[in-house]
Amino acid sequence: MSAPTIKTLGELKKSGYISKSIKDELRDNLMKRLKSKEPVFTDIFGYEETVIPEVQRAILSKHNINFLGLRGQAKTKMARQLTELLDEYIPVVEGSVLNDDPLAPISFFAQNRIHTQKDETPIAWIHRNNRYAEKLATPDVSVADLIGDIDPIKAVHLKVSMANEEVIHYGLIPRSNRFIFVINELPDLQARIQVALFNILQEGDIQIRGFNLRIPLDTMFVFTANPEDYTNRGSIVTPLKDRIGSQILTHYLSSIEQARQITESQARLSPAQKTIKVSSLIKDLVEQIAIEARQSEYVDAKSGVSSRLTISAYESLISAAELRFLSNDQPYSFARIADLYGAVQAINGKIELVYEGEQEGAAIVAHTLISKAIRTQFVKLFPDPNLLKKKKAVNPYETTVAWFGGGHQLDLLEKANDKTYKASLSIIEGLEELCEVFHPAIKGNEQLVLMEFVLHGLAEHSLLSKNTLVKGVQFKDLFNSLMGNQN
């Protein structure tokens, strides 16, 4: 839809336009969406019964919002999507720094212009996508940045005294009048700067270098914060928290299925990469890596593990498979379990390690997380080897383990083409039959991936030996491997 054609204040009055506050806009448009059963947010998964209803209640209550949660929990993403609940266009006095409503001007500039030009005052229109402002809180943010200061150069240029209101240079918050204004990582804002927000949130007063102005700013404030910042870097001062209408706790997703939705929707893949088939098993393993990281003794749980880890890991494993196809001049086909290790570089930078983790090293921790993910997923798909041993039950892995015990070994190379990959797995006795018994519906390339997964799973449960090669991985009998090491 194009912007309205109304160009003057007189035309605006004749059109019957009625001014509305930004929080009323959000409330009214939310009500319309709820009545028409339209979604409020897009690509936000797992919050349908928790966070989203709380956001809806806050908007209906016309509250400012503080999203409190660990990193990678879609706090900023939800804040940015709130613009979709604004009216498509709003009128402003043309040239106004404070985006003045022509029917209710608040700045000296707009009031003077309307007083002078009356109904001929020119009107401009702002689209809702442009009514969003965001500031990352850092220790160097000043009151002048957020609220404003006196500009001596402006006084000289306008030939007015420093006591004239026209010399004020407004900061980000006044310039975001009638906008959604977001401050990310609020605890990082110095306490004295947080204090400067008190009256803006409650009464609309601002004071700039002796100018005591009452400007009724019309702003929807959204803050984001990590709860652990209260002890690590700073805190939200209590009177400021008291002035924020709703504090909403975000969380990581409880199910792998929901997490997969986020990863698949957010992964940035080229058209060619999208043709690479990735089995459900591998997708689950990617999400399991993040779950293991959040539970790992090597990873700082207070910092959190962002969903950006799984997104980057997924992109990297796709690229690892693509590199193999390009190296072999082979048509793109499917990803393998071994491609997960191509995601180590993506995992490294997404986890914050505690002292013990730093001692181990980021790469070793990443490999450990992949191993734990395989181990966890293995017992969901196949009988737990440890339970079989305790119950003295029939061991379905016996034929495969015995094949390796007969002196055989298998080298799975990273760049082996699909034909070689299939031939290598097919020679292992009992492996294909094992997969068919427990997962008869899985066929073709997905069965090959499942067969490879079984080898990794048996190694993680100490039934086989797995050694890392320069360009791949080697599986062989555990006992022979141990004896070889001793020799």
pLDDT value at residue 130 = 96
Over the chain, what HEC string results? CCCCCCCEHHHHHHCCCCCCCHHHHHHHHHHHHHHCCCCCCCCCCCCCCCHHHHHHHHHHCCCCEEEECCCCCCHHHHHHHHHHHCCCEEEEECCCCCCCECCECCCHHHHHHHHHHHHHCEEEEEEHHHCEEEEECCCCCCHHHHCEEECHHHHHHHCCCCCCHHHEEECHHHHCCCCEEEEECHHHCCHHHHHCCHHHHHCCEEEECCEEEECCCCCEEEEEECCCHHHHCCCCCHHHHHHCCEEEECCCCCCHHHHHHHHHHHCCCCCCHHHCECCHHHHHHHHHHHHHHHHCCCECCCCCCCCHHHHHHHHHHHHHHHHHHHHCCCCCCECCHHHHHHHHHHHHCCCCECHHHHHHCHHHHHHHHHHHHHHHHHHHHCCCHHHHHHHCCCCCCHHHHHHHHCCCEEEEECCCCHHHHHHHHHCCCCHHHHHHHHCCCCCHHHHHHHHHHHHHHHHHCCCEEEEEECCEEEEEEHHHHHHHHHC
pLDDT value at residue 212 = 59
Question: How many folded domains does the chain comprise?
Answer: 3
pLDDT, mean of residues 228-241: 71
CATH number for 230: 3.40.50.300
Report whether pLDDT(229) > 70.
Answer: no
Average pLDDT score, the chain: 89
pLDDT value at residue 289 = 96
Residue 2, domain member (yes or no): no
Q: Are residues 128 and 225 in the same domain?
A: yes
pLDDT digits (tens, 9 = 90+) for 375-388: 999 999 999 998 88
pLDDT digits (tens, 9 = 90+) for 191-219: 888 988 888 887 766 666 666 567 788 99
Least confident segment among 111-115, 225-229, 272-276, 367-371:
225-229
Residue 94, domain member (yes or no): yes
pLDDT digits (tens, 9 = 90+) for 290-325: 999 999 999 988 888 888 999 999 999 999 999 999
Q: Are residues 243 and 257 in the same domain?
A: no
Contact status, residue 449 vs residue 279, Cβ threshold 8 Å: yes
Please give the residue that has the higher pLDDT: either 445 or 306. Answer: 445
pLDDT, mean of residues 120-141: 94
Residue 276, domain member (yes or no): yes
pLDDT band at 348 (very low <50, low <70, confident <90, very high): confident
Q: Are residues 408 and 325 in the same domain?
A: no
Q: Are residues 419 and 373 in the same domain?
A: no
Structural domain that includes position 171: 9-249
Q: Are residues 355 and 273 in the same domain?
A: yes
Report whether pLDDT(68) > 60.
Answer: yes
CATH number for 371: 1.10.8.80
Residue at a domain's end among 319, 354, 381:
381
pLDDT digits (tens, 9 = 90+) for 137-180: 988 898 888 987 776 666 666 666 655 666 777 889 999 999 99
Residue 364, domain member (yes or no): yes
pLDDT digits (tens, 9 = 90+) for 87-107: 999 999 999 999 999 999 988
Residue 395, domain member (yes or no): yes
Q: Are residues 233 and 103 in the same domain?
A: yes
Least confident segment among 26-35, 163-172, 365-374, 397-406:
163-172
Least confident segment among 75-79, 205-209, 413-417:
205-209
Residue 139, domain member (yes or no): yes
Chain centroid, CA 374 distance in Å: 24
Q: Are residues 205 and 309 in the same domain?
A: no
Q: Are residues 77 and 27 in the same domain?
A: yes
pTM for the whole structure? 0.82
Contact status, residue 198 vs residue 240, Cβ threshold 8 Å: yes
Q: Are residues 459 and 434 in the same domain?
A: yes
pLDDT value at residue 446 = 96
Q: Are residues 79 and 222 in the same domain?
A: yes
Residue 405, domain member (yes or no): yes
Residue at a domain's end among 381, 396, 426:
381
pLDDT, mean of residues 71-84: 93
Report whether pLDDT(2) > 80.
Answer: no
Q: What angle do CA 364, 365, 371 make, to 5 degrees?
A: 90
Residue 4, domain member (yes or no): no
pLDDT value at residue 487 = 43
Residue at a domain's end among 249, 284, 315:
249
pLDDT value at residue 349 = 82
Q: Are residues 275 and 231 in the same domain?
A: no
pLDDT value at residue 210 = 60
pLDDT value at residue 230 = 47
Q: Are residues 190 and 110 in the same domain?
A: yes
pLDDT band at 480 (very low <50, low <70, confident <90, very high): low
